[in-house]
Amino acid sequence: MKESSVLKVLIADDTDSDRLILESIVKKEGHITISVANGVQAVEAYEAEHPDIVLMDALMPELDGFGAARQIKALAGEELVPIIFLTSLNDAESLVKCLDAGGDDFLSKPYNRFILQAKIKAFSRMRDMNITMQDQRDQISVYNNQLLQEQSVAKHVFDNIAHTGCLDASNVNYLLSPLAVFNGDIIVAAMRPSGGMLVLLGDFTGHGLPAAIGAMPLASVFYGMVQKGFSMVDILREINQKLKQILPLGVFCCAGMVDFDFTKKRVKIWNGGLPDCFIYHAESKELQMVKSTHLPLGVLDDNSFNDDYETVEMLDGDRLFVWSDGIIESRNKNDEMFGEDRLKNIFTNNEYPDGLFESIVDNVQLFLGMESRDDDVSMIELKMVPQDSVITKAKNLVHNRSVGLVEWAMTLELEPSTFRIFDPLPLLLNILVEVPGLRRYSGELYSILAELYSNALEHGVLALDSSWKQSGEGFSKYYEERESRLAQLIDGFVHIHLSHKIDDSGGKLLIRMTDSGDGFDVAGTPSELLANNVMNSGRGIPLVKSVCESVEYNSIGNQVDAIFVWQEE
């Protein structure tokens, strides 16, 4: 508060004695005065001196107070320069004239010193506030522009990652405002190498950049994995994990994911937090709902994540609708909600299924009115059609289940210098999960590799006896011995051979592990014993046996073939 600051006060009064009195009153408050005797001089003095406050006599020669006030106010523009009219006019009409001319207050004659001083103080405060307000407004304007800049950069990055995929396909209609990403809305769609279509509609919590940030890794993971042939479940799980990892606590993504199979005429739907998906059966005109039965993405960790989905048969001509809550929750000027009933009615009243989508869009826009924002009204319509009639400019239109690591073989040969210090299992697992069909079995595959490798290394190459592991001290003796034998080992090897082929229903992975040990009496060991974990030679392989289609040893017992079979979902 600058109440004690010195002000420049312009005094315009055509009476000499009155001017003298005003000058003295104002100077006594410590302010500086500029005195003029008519309106023209008043305006000139304003331009030259830029006073903080003006005391203006109403009636003056040349240009009266009203005229001078108008000109000064015009010159001041946005700046608040208070004008206090000095007048012994006391009829209402004249006082109104003062205000109309831009006057902010009056001071009547005879002048009361205290009243004038109080008014000057009050207007000075007002003037300060006005200056502060304008500064803040200018700052806000600058920040706002910066924000818009940042948003447009973010949008640019986003557009590069979250391209439209196959949203241009002939059986797809969608509504997504260009700035929807800043409302947390996203739609991604891509053709699977096998010919189906995967679509995800997401609604992130929040607004602005924070809402847009989650969309980028989501789109990146989605498009990256689809083209490699991964399934809906694989992709959902990966996206959930990624979002859980990077989003702050409390931020999540309500989402619906759809796997459209044009050949089997089937749709798999996973709904976590979106409103009911509608399936409109063209012939029966029946409306089927798929409710949200899952928590949104980014909430649960991978262990708790539920990837169960609903499977629905759809004939050619049937349509699936997925939307964010922006439609049902949109409110018009009277604060009424669009609501699910209104939405259902559009279907009930519809005569022409091809026009359903337009009809919904029109209804919503009519309801909302012209001026309202609709950048959180996002929806997609997918029509079931014959496989060949799906036309899209998108890449990956290869109708081929064979994509990614399909038929291949590799051998990893490990020598003592390596297996002394290196655990090959994570490396092997990394390769295996790049095979779309094997990814969801990563747990089992790890266990298989672990059991077989441990046998090959410890019982084969190092010739350790597992019976030591039975007792407490035997246990530590076993591991001490393991360390020392490993350190002293000069010759020896473990060869891990993997080969993979696919067939009509899925695929087969062969895991062959060979070690340089002496083997064991294969012929003399009943298979039940092999399934047991407790054996003299320690070659118990209970898990391997339970999960693999077959497990066979060579005659010496230093090579094992485990065959793991997987089915297409």
Partner 1 sequence: MPEAVDLDTLTMLKDIMEDEFDLLIETFIDDAKVRIPQLKKQLAEGEHDELMRNAHSLKGSSSNLGAIPFSEKCMKVESQAKEGNLNGLEGALSDIEQEFNLVESALKELI
Partner 2 sequence: MGIQSHFSEDGQELIISIQGRFDFSAHQNFRNSYESVEGTPSVYNIDMNETTYLDSSALGMLLLLRDHAGGNSSNIKIINCSADVKKILTISNFEQLFTIQ
Residue 182 lies near partner 2 (rule: CB under 8 A): no
Q: Which residues contact 146 (CB under 8 A, 6 or more apart)?
A: none
Residue 269 lies near partner 2 (rule: CB under 8 A): no
Q: Which does 15 bind (CB under 5 to 8 A by kind): partner 2, partner 1, none?
A: partner 1
Tokens of 310: 């609903």
Nearest distance, CB of residue 57 and partner 1, angstroms: 8
Q: Which does 94 bind (CB under 5 to 8 A by kind): partner 2, partner 1, none?
A: none
Q: Which residues contact 510 (CB under 8 A, 6 or more apart)?
A: 497, 498, 499, 500, 561, 562, 563, 564
As a whole number of angstroms, the distance between CA 2 and CA 422 comes to 74
Total number of residues that touch partner 2 (CB under 8 A): 19
Given candidates 94, 220, 293, 499, which one binds partner 2 under the rule CB under 8 A?
293
Q: Where are the alpha helices (DSSP H) in 57-169?
A: 65-76, 92-100, 113-161
Q: Which does 21 bind (CB under 5 to 8 A by kind): partner 2, partner 1, none?
A: partner 1
124 burial level (CB within 10 Å; 0-12, 13-18, 19+): buried
As a whole number of angstroms, the distance between CA 539 and CA 526 comes to 12
Q: Which stretch binds partner 2 (CB under 8 A): 98-106, 278-286, 291-299, 460-468?
A: 291-299
Region class of 265: left (phi > 0), else alpha (psi between -120 and 50), else beta? left
- Residue 122 — φ and ψ, nearest 5°? -60, -45
Residue 498 lies near partner 2 (rule: CB under 8 A): no
Tokens of 122: 């009050």
As a whole number of angstroms, the distance between CA 414 and CA 422 comes to 9
Given candidates 249, 370, 487, 523, which one binds partner 2 under the rule CB under 8 A?
249
- DSSP type of residue 389: G
Partnered with residue 118 across adjacent β-strands are: none
Torsion angle, CA of 384/284/176/235, rounded to 10 degrees? Answer: -50
Q: Which CB atom, from 205 or from 363, has the smaller least distance to partner 2?
A: 205
As a whole number of angstroms, the distance between CA 239 and CA 20 comes to 82
As a whole number of angstroms, the distance between CA 49 and CA 312 comes to 82
Q: Which stretch binds partner 1 (CB under 8 A): 107-115, 200-208, 231-239, 288-296?
A: 107-115
Q: Which stretch binds partner 2 (CB under 8 A): 113-121, 218-226, 245-253, 518-526?
A: 245-253
Q: Which does 127 bind (CB under 5 to 8 A by kind): partner 1, partner 2, none?
A: none
Residues 205-234, interacting with partner 2 (CB under 8 A): 205-206
Q: Which CB atom, from 14 or from 104, has the smaller least distance to partner 1?
A: 14
Q: Which CB atom, from 58 or from 225, has the smaller least distance to partner 1?
A: 58
Q: Which stretch binds partner 2 (CB under 8 A): 30-38, 87-95, 136-144, 288-296?
A: 288-296
Q: Which does 28 bind (CB under 5 to 8 A by kind): partner 2, partner 1, none?
A: partner 1
Q: Which stretch binds partner 2 (CB under 8 A): 31-39, 247-255, 310-318, 537-545?
A: 247-255
Given candidates 88, 484, 536, 550, which one binds partner 1 under the rule CB under 8 A?
88
Residue identified by tokens 């298979």 is 527
Tokens of 197: 């279509």
Give residues in contact with partner 2 (CB under 8 A). Answer: 205-206, 249-252, 254, 272-275, 292-296, 299, 304, 325
Give residues in contact with partner 1 (CB under 8 A). Answer: 14-18, 20-21, 24-25, 28, 59, 61, 88, 109-111, 113
